[in-house]
Structure 1
Amino acid sequence: MTDTALAGEQSPAAGPVVVGHFEPGSEEWHAARRSGIGGSEIAAVLGISPYESRFSLWHRKQGLISPVEETEEMYWGKVHEPAICARFAELHPEHPLNVAPTYAVAARRWQIANPDRIWGPDLLEAKTARTADGWGTEGTDEIPVHYRAQCLQYLDVLQRRRCHLAVLIAGSEYREYVVEYDPAEAQILRDAGAEFMASLAAGARPDIDGHTATYQAIKALPDGIDDIDVPITAGLRDEYFAALDTAKAAEEQKRRLAGLVLDEIGTGHRAVVDRQIVATRTVHDGRTHSLQPARNRSAA
Structure 2
Amino acid sequence: MHIVQNVETPKSTRPALRLVRTRELSRDEWLEVRKRGIGSSDAGTAVGLNPYQSQLELWLIKTGRDGNLPKVDPNDETSPMYWGSLLEPIVAAHYTRRTGNRVRKINSVLQHPDADKSWMLANIDREVTGAHDVQILECKTAGEFGARLWRDGVPEYIVCQVQHQLAVTGKAAADVCVLICGQEIRIYRIERDDELIARLIALERQFWHYVETDTPPPADGSESAELALRCLYPQDSGNTLNLVDDTKMSATFADLVNLRADIANRTELESLLKQQIQQRMGDATTALFETGKVSWKRAKDSHAIDMTTLLCDQPDLTERYPLIKPGSRRFLITSN
- TM bin, normalised by shorter chain, reads 0.7 to 0.9
Please list the CA deviations of residues 78-115 of structure 1 after superposition, one character each: whole Å capped at 9, or x if unmatched: 22212111211222334243344210112222101101
- What residue in structure 1 maps to residue 110 of structure 2? 103
Q: Structure 2 CA distance, aligned partners of 1:25 and 1:52? A: 24
Higher percent of residues as strand:
1
> Kindly tell me: are residues 18 and 225 of structure 1, through their superposed partners in 2, closer, same or farther at Cα, counting changes over 3 Å?
same
Q: Structure 1 CA distance, aligned partners of 2:37 and 2:219? A: 22
Note the 1:1-300 alignment, pairs <5 A. Answer: 10-11=11-12, 14-22=14-22, 26-66=27-67, 69-70=71-72, 72-107=79-114, 108-120=117-129, 121-131=134-144, 132-136=147-151, 142-227=153-238, 230-231=241-242, 233=244, 235-249=251-265
Q: Structure 1 CA distance, aligned partners of 2:206 and 2:264? A: 38
C-alpha contact 2:92 2:103 (8 A) present in aligned 1: no
Q: Structure 2 CA distance, aligned partners of 1:11 and 1:147? A: 23
How many residue pairs get matched? 258
Corresponding residue SS for 1:103:
strand
Q: Structure 2 CA distance, aligned partners of 1:251 and 1:53? A: 28
Corresponding residue SS for 2:118:
strand
Q: Structure 1 CA distance, aligned partners of 2:191 and 2:61? A: 31
> Which runs of structure 1 show a deviation greater than 6 angstroms over 4 or more consecutive aligned residues?
252-257
Task: Give the TM-score normalised by the residue count of structure 2.
Answer: 0.65
Q: Structure 2 CA distance, aligned partners of 1:193 and 1:222? A: 25
> Kindly tell me: are residues 169 and 26 of structure 1, through their superposed partners in 2, closer, same or farther at Cα, counting changes over 3 Å?
same
Q: Structure 1 CA distance, aligned partners of 2:43 and 2:26? A: 17
Please list the CA deviations of residues 239-291 of structure 1 after superposition, one character each: whole Å capped at 9, or x if unmatched: 3333333444556777879xx9xx9xx69xxxxx9xxxx9xx9xxx99xxxxx
> Kindly tell me: are residues 156 and 236 of structure 1, through their superposed partners in 2, closer, same or farther at Cα, counting changes over 3 Å?
closer
Identical-residue share of aligned pairs (%): 22
> Kindly tell me: are residues 216 and 124 of structure 1, through their superposed partners in 2, closer, same or farther at Cα, counting changes over 3 Å?
same
Corresponding residue SS for 1:178:
strand
Task: Give the TM-score normalised by the residue count of structure 1.
Answer: 0.72
Letter in 2 for 1:172: Q
More displaced stretch, 230-239 vs 32-41 = 230-239
- What residue in structure 2 maps to residue 292 of structure 1? none
C-alpha contact 2:22 2:107 (8 A) present in aligned 1: no
Shift of residue 39, structure 1, vs aligned partner? 1.0
Q: Structure 2 CA distance, aligned partners of 1:254 and 1:22? A: 54
Please list the CA deviations of residues 140-199 of structure 1 after superposition, one character each: whole Å capped at 9, or x if unmatched: xx3100000000000111111111111111121211111110000011111112222223
Q: Structure 2 CA distance, aligned partners of 1:213 and 1:89? A: 36
> Kindly tell me: are residues 96 and 216 of structure 1, through their superposed partners in 2, closer, same or farther at Cα, counting changes over 3 Å?
closer
Letter in 1 for 2:150: W
C-alpha contact 2:142 2:179 (8 A) present in aligned 1: yes
Q: Structure 1 CA distance, aligned partners of 2:118 and 2:185? A: 35
Corresponding residue SS for 1:63:
coil
Q: Which runs of 5+ in 2 are unaligned?
A: 1-9, 74-78, 245-249, 301-336
Q: Which has the larger radius of gyration?
A: 2
Q: Structure 2 CA distance, aligned partners of 1:252 and 1:116? A: 50
Q: CA RMSD in A?
A: 3.7
> Kindly tell me: are residues 44 and 92 of structure 1, through their superposed partners in 2, closer, same or farther at Cα, counting changes over 3 Å?
same
Q: Structure 2 CA distance, aligned partners of 1:200 and 1:84? A: 35
